Structure 1
Amino acid sequence: MDINIAIFASGSGSNAERIIKEFEGTLLKPCVVFCNKPNAFVLERSKKLGVPAVVFNREEFSSENFLDKLSAFKIDFIVLAGFLWKVPEYLIKAYPNKIINIHPALLPKYGGKGMYGSHVHEAVVANGEQETGITIHLVNENYDEGRHIFQAKCPVTPNDTPETVASKIHELEYEHFPAVIAQYISDYKV
């Protein structure tokens, strides 16, 4: 039986594209991309890959009526792939332990409101960290505090810049995110 996945993204969508391609021909079906930015490049990627996209605003997202949009696609799991808004409590309750996020740091370090993308990498370099990485976790009502599913590390050298750290993080994301999602869903117990 197919498992329908909604991917939420706010930007370029490289992780969304990777997930869609990796799950092609499997029981995991990324059947829709939800995006909160009408000009985000993820919309071009989803169109090219033949995956429908839904653009929404904050007012729609804050209303429980948003669940109707997910129901229309019979969504079983939600994956946040570079989605920058806090997930409302009604959505967390509707999908308990079924919303998976990726964060570009080794949580609990460098998590929380405002800690995303280049902000994280700049802080890692500014603080002289010797390692960083990714954390794949479940979403709860607090930013970046849900149960960890997986972490992967990479070194930070004295010559690294926020841009080189970002490149290392992207490699970890591409390598691990689809496989960890697939494993989590396959192991999922109600």
Structure 2
Amino acid sequence: MFVGGFTRSSKGARVLRLGVRRFAFFKLEARVLREAKGKVAVVSSSYVEIVRNFFNASRSCSRGWEISGVWFPESSPSFSNIDIPVPRFPLRRSSNAFGVDERSAELFESISTVRPDLVVLVRYLFLVHPPLEYRGRIINVHGSLLPAYGGKGQYGVRLQEAILQAGERKTGCSVHLVSEQYDVGDILAQVAIPIDMKDTPVSLHRRVADLEVKTLIGVIDEQVLKFR
């Protein structure tokens, strides 16, 4: 769409000047699309490899959502000196050894300031008590085929070691809704992989962690649409 008008040249001739409004339209359209993206709050205990890989995978411009902030214990040294392109919100150390009630209240009070559509736990080791307004909007990723090998303390290399010691022939990951108990919320997605005879706890942990990131990204893509 062109707009413009007549002006006078130095010799007195009328000159038609045309302007282009389309640039303003594109700028407005880009802003609207950016603002229309879903908001995801990420909660983690430490900046381990799976968290780093999740952040990298989430940066795709084709995603219908973006990370609005990351919440982590202030005592976690891994978040202190890294460049994360999102706001960071350290949580104070709780007097409770596992921070169940006190930290959970502080966590969701802080999260509410960014008004997220979805809250995602990635290697957050504390039990949270979801407020009523967040029920059904908090998800967690776990490195096993739940309900098998779920519960407190089941994470990382030690989890895969337990799976190997049990002689399992397959494993995988689960993405589930968070409830007031460890790893018992409704399962939203599960993906299985065969266990190789050459797998060690470390190699299996790495394979499952890669699977967790891909599965989690896919679930967020689907879930965030429900709250837009």
Instruction: Report the secondary structure of 1:68's partner residue.
Output: helix
What is residue 11 of structure 1 aligned with on the other side?
46
The CA distance in 1 between the partners of 2:54 and 2:206, in whole Å, is 18
Task: Out of 167-176 and 11-20, give the one that drifted further.
Answer: 11-20
Q: Distance in 2 between matches of 1:169 and 1:97?
A: 25
Query: Residue in 1 aligned with 2:27?
Result: none
**How much identity, in percent, do the aligned residues show?**
26
Which residue of 1 is the match for residue 207 of structure 2? 168
Q: Return the offset for 1:42.
A: 4.6
When normalised by structure 2's length, the TM-score is 0.72
Aligned-partner Cα distance in 1 for 2:81–2:171:
31
State how far apart, in whole Å, the 1-side matches of 2:199 and 2:107 are.
42
Gaps (5+ residues) in structure 2? 1-35
Distance 2:75 2:176 in 1: 27
Give 2:151's aligned residue.
112
Is 2:87 the partner of 1:52?
Answer: yes
Alignment TM-score, normalising by the size of structure 1: 0.85
Give matches, 1:1-190, under 5 Å: 1-24=36-59, 25=61, 26-36=63-73, 38-42=75-79, 44-45=81-82, 48-56=83-91, 57-58=93-94, 62-63=101-102, 64-88=105-129, 91-186=130-225, 188=226
Task: Provide the rounded CA distance (Å) in 2 between the counterparts of 1:66 and 1:135.
Answer: 24
Matched letter for residue 178 of structure 1: I
Select the structure with the greater relative contact order (CA < 8 A; seq sep ≥ 6). Answer: 1
Determine the C-alpha separation between the residues in 1 that align with 2:210 and 2:66.
Answer: 23
Please report the RMSD computed on the Cα atoms of aligned residues, expressed in angstroms: 2.3
Q: CA offset at residue 156 of structure 1?
A: 1.3
Tell me how far 1:130 sits from its aligned partner. 0.3
Post-superposition shift, 1:43? 5.1
For the residue of structure 2 that corresponds to 1:58, the secondary structure is coil
Contact residue 11 and residue 82 of structure 1 kept, 8 A? yes
Residues 143-152 or 59-68, more deviating? 59-68
Q: How many residues align?
A: 185
Which structure 1 residue ranges, 5 or more long, are not aligned? none
Larger Rg: 2
